[in-house]
Amino acid sequence: MKNNVVLITGGTSGIGRACALEFGRAGARVVITGRDAAKLAATAAELATAGIEHRTVQGDVGLVADADRAVAETVAAFGRLDVLINNAGLSMRAKFADVEVKVIEQLMQTNFFGTVYTTKAALPHLLASKGTIVGVSSIAGYRGLPGRTGYSASKFAMNGFLEALRTELLPEGVNVLTAAPGFTASNIRHTALLANGQTQNETPRDEGKMMTSEEVAQHLRKAVEQRQRGFVLTGEGKLVVFLNKWLPGLMDKMVLNNFRKEEGEL
């Protein structure tokens, strides 16, 4: 990663923030994006304390102009782009019968179209560097999860987009990596959207029993360095993907029972 330039969307918390520190400590020059100016400043202060050369770009990846600007400012600052980590994302927690359609549209705009917009803007520079495109996906992109219809849809869409793009770019020397961390201790459940679009502000799961964002960032850095095509993390995550492929009917029942245990049963 020495002197590589890494652009991370949603880099102010959770996996994005951990990746900024992980890649930066490995020698990369880091650019992070985020919508919240205060959180950007706080993360920038952490990067500066760690001696990491960095830039910040305030913006919303779900807006094509902001995605274009993030890439443009990265290249203007450092002259190149080697790794794009599409990390920005939203989750939800509501039955489809109850949820307002605008919530699903918002998830698709951030999780899927944010990835499309930023990747489109970054592609010429990644072709020049023969770099890597990363999509931080989810187990929900392999197995539909109740109460997360919009989230699962956005991650399935991301996975399909990245798989097609990986195939297109094989002759060009650009690597495309799809990362499915499994359940990870981060703020994504705290910021999940409820049926009316308001933020949940709490988590229904025991965050202390999950893989940390820092562990995910370590796996992701190694995967980028090794130019892997993808990975699924945690034993639970790997088991879900495996069983869903071979015993889908059983998984329907198991997943439903698991999510019924959440506080505020579905």
Considering only CA atoms, which of 181, 141, 154, 144 is closest in space to residue 61? Answer: 154
| SS3 call for 67 | helix
117 classed as catalytic: no
Residues 6+ apart with CB under 8 A from 98: 195
| Catalytic residue (one of 151, 156, 161, 183) | 151
Number of residues that make up the chain:
266
Is the four-CA dihedral 123, 125, 131, 134 of positive or negative sign? negative
Residue corresponding to tokens 């990362």:
179
Q: Residue 148, class by beta-carbon neighbours within 10 Å (0-12 exposed, 13-18 middle, 19+ buried)?
A: buried
CA atoms within 13 A on the CB side of 82: 16
Tell me the pairing of strands 29-34 and 83-86.
Answer: unpaired
Asked whether the beta carbons of 135 and 178 are under 8 A apart, the reply is yes
Question: Cα–Cα distance between 266 and 251 in angstroms, integer?
Answer: 17
Beta bridge partners, 136, equal 179
Question: Cα–Cα distance between 21 and 40 in angstroms, integer?
Answer: 13
Give catalytic residues, as residue numbers: 151
